[in-house]
Amino acid sequence: MNVQFKKGALELCVLVFTLKKDRYGYELVHSISDKIQIAEGTVYPLLRRLTKEGYFATYLAESNEGPPRKYYQLTKAGREYLEQLVQEWQQFSASVNEIIEEGMD
């Protein structure tokens, strides 16, 4: 798949996964790589950027196994950004689908 395209979609997925529940890094990355083929390591730079831009807040919480985990929590700005991305995505994918349907007739 086209790399830039995948990056945009990845950003959307990461934000969606944190909407209902705070997630820790591995959990987040794993839930994506389960469905989409990616180099798992490239998700962390994305998380870092989204955090820097204020869409995520992070905190450490104890875990049952091993050391404390870093959790990602969607901020208010993150929620708004996600809504905007989802809307753009839906418009975009609807248009692409339309084009495909017309073209493949």
Give contact residues for another protein (rule: CB under 8 A). 25-27, 29-30, 33, 39-42, 44-49, 52, 65-67, 69-70
| Least distance to another protein, CB of residue 8, Å | 14
Of 22, 41, 20, which Cα lies nearest the Cα of 10? 41
Residue 67 or 103 with smaller CB distance to another protein: 67
| Least distance to another protein, CB of residue 45, Å | 4
Residue 33 or 91 with smaller CB distance to another protein: 33
Q: Residue 88 and residue 86: Cα distance in Å, rounded? A: 5
DSSP for 69-95, written as a single string: EEEEEE-HHHHHHHHHHHHHHHHHHHH
Q: Residue 29 and residue 32: Cα distance in Å, rounded? A: 5
Residue 69 or 86 with smaller CB distance to another protein: 69
| Least distance to another protein, CB of residue 39, Å | 3
Amino acid at 92: F
